[in-house]
Structure 1
């Protein structure tokens, strides 16, 4: 059996990581779309073409409006997320457990940068968007994971009804 060169393996892994689709950690003005993305419990990245648009507003009262969103399995939604507050907010879609875990990690590492196709960071007075295909039925959440915001109740619910037979 041949020994693996860790430095070479690390370089290859880094090159593969750098080749993945990337989204800026900027002001969220663009819609994040990936041609093919990782399957999550709540779906996969979607295309804005043919997507239904839902506007989500957020503010310094630590609330999303609407706080409950209903979609049908297989539907692609383009969330247009508007920050009406004076501080940075974000919208991250996921399972309740994953959002709790991510929020706890953000408390430990508040300067940690994170950016995935199921989230958008929005500066005050600006907007961002997410295109997501909800290809699995269930109840999911969205939240702002900036330290203190999640704990203040900045969460919402997405109910994905099963597709009609």
Structure 2
């Protein structure tokens, strides 16, 4: 696995904020942005065409994980912590970003994203061009059914999703 030097541009896409992300449709929380000074573990995640490595990530309730996410593929990919319901809601935004030219399958147009007010800077997500790396720091506040997926149009449908497995559940 290769590590890239593109952390600067990718990091601009990641905002570590303290807001909780509610699991849409079923009232449970998928957790919240974590404090980078209180990380329990670091997990490296590689994204490639239609797959993640690892495909399943084991966590514990209350644990704060720093995900170091690398796009080792040739297309734009996303690492998005959530549920099927949150991804279904987010996929419309991603389709709109494609239609408006904010992104293509291989590139992100940051100027157009800022202009359109769609910076894709949610604390549970990283949207990366090929070769970029970013960090997502997340606290898993409760054991719930959730995972991670790529919502670039056609990617999740092509199998680009993984599972978050809570220890003891």
Q: TM-score range by the shorter chain?
A: 0.7 to 0.9
User: Partners in 2 of 1:27 and 1:121 — Cα distance?
Assistant: 11
User: Partners in 2 of 1:33 and 1:108 — Cα distance?
Assistant: 24
Gaps of 5+ in 1: 1-25
Pair 1:80-2:68 in alignment: yes
Contact 1:74 1:135 in 2 (8 A): yes
Q: Aligned-pair distance for 1:107?
A: 3.1
Q: Aligned-pair distance for 1:142?
A: 0.6
Q: 1:162 to 1:136 in 2, by over 3 A?
A: farther
User: Partners in 1 of 2:160 and 2:144 — Cα distance?
Assistant: 20
* Structure 2 SS opposite 1:77: strand
Gaps of 5+ in 2: 1-7, 23-28, 103-117
1:156 pairs, out of 134, 148, 162, with 162
- Structure number, greater radius of gyration: 1
Q: 1:63 to 1:39 in 2, by over 3 A?
A: closer
User: Partners in 1 of 2:77 and 2:162 — Cα distance?
Assistant: 14
* Structure 2 SS opposite 1:44: strand
User: Partners in 1 of 2:16 and 2:32 — Cα distance?
Assistant: 10
Q: Count how many residue pairs are aligned between Structure 1 and Structure 2.
A: 136
2:95 pairs, out of 74, 85, 107, with 107
Pair 1:32-2:38 in alignment: no
Q: Alignment RMSD, CA only?
A: 2.2
Bigger relative CO (Cα 8 Å, ≥ 6 apart): 2
User: Partners in 2 of 1:39 and 1:117 — Cα distance?
Assistant: 9
Which residues in structure 2 correspond to 1:127-138 (within 5 Å)? 127-138=133-144
Q: Aligned-pair distance for 1:139?
A: 2.2
Q: TM-score, normalised by structure 2?
A: 0.71
Q: TM-score, normalised by structure 1?
A: 0.73
